[in-house]
């Protein structure tokens, strides 16, 4: 047992999966893998690696086992003394592409309930990553499909992505950890299950070393492409979903989103009305557009729109654009009344606000009467906020976005901004 826990601890440190806050949330289904993960994480907390553990459980209400799973999770969390939050979304198992919709709903609940400084831990292991890699390669032309499930994706971390299904199963057996087997995992009407039940057993029988070679190949590709979580300088993009869409922001306010392919694919598929499609070319298109200073919007599969501002990508649908019209109107009223309601005057405060922007909305418009000459203002109105930005420019205000301000600040002296600097909080 100690050897397994120590191995996970070393991997978490090397892959930078331990947040500075020491606060984690475990996504707990009641299945074998997630129950094992909670057991390991609780042991690491006892050893001082982590400071606080919370648990999220989603009762989909679509299978007879769901009630028993919830009871198991409640009792096990009580036994370990960890805080539990249970969600009961309204889902219909007969919905087309149910697996996809259920997953998106889970992550929506997770992201909306994470606290500041927390990261979400899921129990995906090497076998899961291999399955996902195979499925992606059958359905996508993107070379990133060969990488599988990322070890770290924004605020989602996967500590078991260094061990196999068999290793997890042995740990569960050795420690008598209770779990409930999800019967739907055997249904081959779901694509992942078809890969797991029909294809992988034949691969394993014919090529018993396939997982070892997959891990080596994926790690090498990730390092070659600069997206490996084992690289010290790997960029961690920030991901946020709100009522208006999904935001992906660059931690340095930069325009280079290479390495954010997984987050972009997730954002498009989460909003698309067509489920997963062939997105490799579309992802490359928005990354190239951002690097070339384009603004968009770009139209993606399933009527998804991709907006670009310096240091941030934002994905919405045509139906969501009406939200921005109201925000634009509200902002115009506040500007006319000079009631901008958020002030900020430190570099670290600015960076922290961009990292956890729950109280803000894309594109993080910023207004100020005065700025250093090298802090350029936009020249014309913003396409999502045309009336308010036009008013600000005509009034002689400095107008730009929070990521752009961070970009200037990163590359210049860390000046203390004047008190009249204000960030509109929409």
Of 167-171, 269-273, 314-318, 371-375, the poorest mean pLDDT is in 371-375
Residue with the bigger pLDDT between 324 and 5: it is 5
CB-CB neighbours of 366 under 10 Å = 26
Asked whether the beta carbons of 340 and 389 are under 8 A apart, the reply is no
Asked whether the predicted pLDDT for residue 309 surpasses 70, the reply is: yes
Q: What is the spatial distance between Cα 53 and Cα 41, in angstroms, rounded to a whole number?
A: 8
Token readout for 321 is 């654009």
In sequence order, what are the residues at sequence separation of 6 or more whose Cβ sits closer than 8 angstroms to the Cβ of residue 237?
154, 248, 249, 250, 251, 257, 259, 260, 263
Q: Which helix (H) or strand (E) holds 398?
A: strand 398-401
Asked whether the predicted pLDDT for residue 222 surpasses 70, the reply is: no
For 226-337, list the strands marked E by DSSP. 238-242, 245-249, 298-300, 304-309, 312-317
What pLDDT, on the 0 to 100 scale, is given for residue 356? 42
Q: What is the spatial distance between Cα 380 and Cα 358, in angstroms, rounded to a whole number?
A: 27
SS3 87: strand
Of 42-51, 178-187, 198-207, the poorest mean pLDDT is in 178-187
> Phi/psi of residue 178, each to 5°?
-75, 150
Q: What is the spatial distance between Cα 66 and Cα 69, in angstroms, rounded to a whole number?
A: 5
As a whole number, the mean pLDDT across the chain is 80
Token readout for 18 is 């331990």
Q: What is the spatial distance between Cα 418 and Cα 397, in angstroms, rounded to a whole number?
A: 14
Give one DSSP letter per residue of 126-184, joined into a string. HHHHHHHHHHHHHH---GGGGG-S-SEETTEE-TTTTS-HHHHHHHHHHTT------GG
Positive or negative: CA dihedral 284, 288, 291, 296: negative
What pLDDT, on the 0 to 100 scale, is given for residue 419? 39
The predicted-structure confidence for 235-259, as pLDDT tens digits, reads as follows: 677 777 777 788 888 877 678 888 7
What pLDDT, on the 0 to 100 scale, is given for residue 77? 97
Q: What confidence tier does 2 reach under pLDDT thresholds 50, 70, 90?
A: confident
Of 426, 374, 425, 423, residue with least CA distance to 399: 423
Asked whether the predicted pLDDT for residue 229 surpasses 70, the reply is: no
Burial class (CB in 10 A: 0-12, 13-18, 19+), 84: middle
The predicted-structure confidence for 138-163, as pLDDT tens digits, reads as follows: 776 666 666 778 888 889 999 999 99
What pLDDT, on the 0 to 100 scale, is given for residue 425? 38
What pLDDT, on the 0 to 100 scale, is given for residue 22? 95
> Phi/psi of residue 94, each to 5°?
-85, -5
Asked whether the beta carbons of 305 and 299 are under 8 A apart, the reply is yes
Of 32-36, 137-141, 177-181, 302-306, the poorest mean pLDDT is in 137-141
Token readout for 54 is 């919370």
Of 29-33, 60-64, 401-405, the poorest mean pLDDT is in 401-405
Q: What is the spatial distance between Cα 184 and Cα 99, in angstroms, rounded to a whole number?
A: 10
What pLDDT, on the 0 to 100 scale, is given for residue 160? 96
Asked whether the beta carbons of 403 and 310 are under 8 A apart, the reply is yes
Give the highest mean pLDDT range of 159-163, 293-297, 413-417: 159-163
Residue with the bigger pLDDT between 168 and 260: it is 168
Q: Which helix (H) or strand (E) holds 367?
A: strand 365-368
What pLDDT, on the 0 to 100 scale, is given for residue 422? 45
Asked whether the beta carbons of 132 and 241 are under 8 A apart, the reply is no
Q: What confidence tier does 426 reach under pLDDT thresholds 50, 70, 90?
A: very low
**Domains with residue ranges and CATH for the chain:** 2-224 (3.40.50.620), 240-319 (no CATH), 323-423 (no CATH)
What pLDDT, on the 0 to 100 scale, is given for residue 354? 46
């Amino acid at each position: 047992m100690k050897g397994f826990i120590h191995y996970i601890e070393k991997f978490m440190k090397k892959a930078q999966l331990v947040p500075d806050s020491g606060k984690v949330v475990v996504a707990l289904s009641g299945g074998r893998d997630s129950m094992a993960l909670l057991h390991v994480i609780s042991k690491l907390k006892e050893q001082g690696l982590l400071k606080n553990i919370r648990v999220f459980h989603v009762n989909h209400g679509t299978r007879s086992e769901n009630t028993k799973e919830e009871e198991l999770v409640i009792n096990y969390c009580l036994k370990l003394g960890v805080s539990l939050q249970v969600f009961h979304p309204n889902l219909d198992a007969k919905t087309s592409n149910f697996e996809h919709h259920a997953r998106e709903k889970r992550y929506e609940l997770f992201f909306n309930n994470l606290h500041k400084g927390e990261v979400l831990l899921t129990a995906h292991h090497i076998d899961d990553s291999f399955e996902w890699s195979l499925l992606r390669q059958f359905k996508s032309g993107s070379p990133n499909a060969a990488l599988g499930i990322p070890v770290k994706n924004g605020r989602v971390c996967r500590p078991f992505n260094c061990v196999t299904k068999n290793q997890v199963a042995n740990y569960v057996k050795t420690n008598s950890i209770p779990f409930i087997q999800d019967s739907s995992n055997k249904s081959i009407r779901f694509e992942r299950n078809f890969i797991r039940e029909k294809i992988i057993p034949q691969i394993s029988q014919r090529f018993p070393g396939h997982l070892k070679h997959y891990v080596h190949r994926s790690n090498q590709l990730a390092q070659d492409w600069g997206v490996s979580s084992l690289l010290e300088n790997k960029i961690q993009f920030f991901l946020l979903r709100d009522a208006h869409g999904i935001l992906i922001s660059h931690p340095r306010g930069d325009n280079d989103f290479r390495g954010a392919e997984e987050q972009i694919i997730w954002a498009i598929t989460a909003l698309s009305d067509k489920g997963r499609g062939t997105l490799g070319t579309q992802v490359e298109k928005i990354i190239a557009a951002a690097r070339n200073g384009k603004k968009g919007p770009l139209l993606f599969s399933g009527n998804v729109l991709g907006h670009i501002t310096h240091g941030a990508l934002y994905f919405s649908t045509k139906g969501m654009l009406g939200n921005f019209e109201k925000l634009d109107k509200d902002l115009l009223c506040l500007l006319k009344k000079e009631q901008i309601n958020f002030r900020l005057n430190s570099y670290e405060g600015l960076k922290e606000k961009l990292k956890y922007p729950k109280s803000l909305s894309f594109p993080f418009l910023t207004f100020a009467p005065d700025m250093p000459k090298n802090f350029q203002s936009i020249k014309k109105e913003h396409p999502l906020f045309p009336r308010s930005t036009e008013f600000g420019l005509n009034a002689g205000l400095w107008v730009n976005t929070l990521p752009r301000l961070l970009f200037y600040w990163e590359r210049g002296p860390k000046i203390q901004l004047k008190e009249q600097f204000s960030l509109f909080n929409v």
